[in-house]
Structure 1
Amino acid sequence: MSEHVSGARDELLAEAVALREKGAREEARERLLALAARHPEDAEVAYQTAWAHDVLGLEAEAVPFYETALGAAAALAEEDRRGAFLGLGSTYRVLGRYEEAVTTLRRGAEEFPDDGALRTFLAMALFNTGEHHESTRLLLRLLAATSEDPSVRRYREAVEYYAEDLHETV
């Protein structure tokens, strides 16, 4: 991409993101669609375009842009990659595509093991697939690791222990 084209792309992308952040979501979406048409393999443009659709409740339209963002040869910045995994996994879940949600969110949680949001949404998707034990285990482990509640912290070791086998009673 030439420097001139790259600069114009950066400026147009920044303008569209600013519009979305100001609440002009439909205008942002339209600009991002035009930009995505000119840069169909651009991971960052695809991610921002997916996000613009998601915030408007257009989840089905967001999916191909999230997929492009995660599959593009040029990698997303780390924070955007986290967001793309969460956005795509959550979107699949909203659309009832639970197995795809689990697969996507599991990939994200493996790549970013300290991301509690990815693990939380993975737990929800696991619940939707009937994997209730795994779902509860993930949430209990997250609760034990992150809770600031003194009463939870007092029983942290027990919660972590029982999270591994909820059927255990001794």
Structure 2
Amino acid sequence: MSDDGRNGRLAEAVGLREQGRQEEARDRLVELAARYPDDAEVAYQTAWAHDVLGLEAEAVPFYERALKSPGAGLSQGDRRGALLGLGSTFRILGRYEEAVATLRGAVEEFPDDGALRTFLAMALFNTGEHHESAQLLLNLLANTSGDPGVRTYRRAIEYYARDLNETV
């Protein structure tokens, strides 16, 4: 199959997913992934199709393939999405340590991404790292909230986020 055929079939499968035709999209993407095993974009879209259907365990190898694929690899946006998808999927599967490791690396790579920090906070909570989890969420809240009350107390929230156990 030519690259044009690959591109057309990939666009068609993504379109099916976007139309809510998840099973059809998944079937087409699994075929493409078999035909193009080193194609990061195809692997990422295939992982996503599995995730949408609640087939998290089946999504993992496709996320891993997408993130390790040689060649052109993923765009920055798709790489961020694949890291978030893999970390979130590990968390859903109860693979909390792998979720934390994946999401920590993602946050280091994309430090301004609030979604990655939020999912990392959830995974940290699952590993018993409640203090760090709350810190991440409080700092995210303080820095991104449009709520007037939060904005008024932003500095205090950031200060106490550093040490939630501090008392007077």
TM class, shorter-length: over 0.9
> 1:163 & 1:75 partners in 2: Cα distance?
37
Partner of 2:108: 110
Partner of 2:17: 20
Amino acid at match of 1:163: A
Amino acid at match of 1:91: T
Amino acid at match of 1:35: L
- CA shift, 1:28, in A, is 0.6
Partner of 2:90: 92
Amino acid at match of 1:46: A
Q: TM-score, normalised by structure 2?
A: 0.97
Amino acid at match of 1:96: G
- CA shift, 1:7, in A, is 1.0
Would you say the 8 A contact 2:122–2:133 is kept in 1? yes
Partner of 1:34: 31
- CA shift, 1:75, in A, is 2.2
Partner of 1:140: 138
Would you say the 8 A contact 2:39–2:73 is kept in 1? no
Residue-by-residue CA offset, 1:73-125 (whole Å, 9 max, x unaligned) = 23201111111011100000000000000011111111111110000000000
Amino acid at match of 2:164: L
Pair 1:43-2:46 in alignment: no
> 2:163 & 2:128 partners in 1: Cα distance?
17
Where do 4+ consecutive residues of structure 1 move more than 6 Å? none
Partner of 1:64: 61
SS of the residue corresponding to residue 2 of structure 2 reads helix
Would you say the 8 A contact 2:135–2:162 is kept in 1? yes
> 1:165 & 1:18 partners in 2: Cα distance?
47
User: How many residues are paired up?
Assistant: 167
Structure 2 unaligned spans of 5+ = none
* Cα RMSD after superposing both structures: 0.9
> 2:20 & 2:156 partners in 1: Cα distance?
46
Partner of 1:153: 151
SS of the residue corresponding to residue 37 of structure 1 reads helix
Residue-by-residue CA offset, 1:21-58 (whole Å, 9 max, x unaligned) = 11111011000000000100110000000000000000
Q: TM-score, normalised by structure 1?
A: 0.96
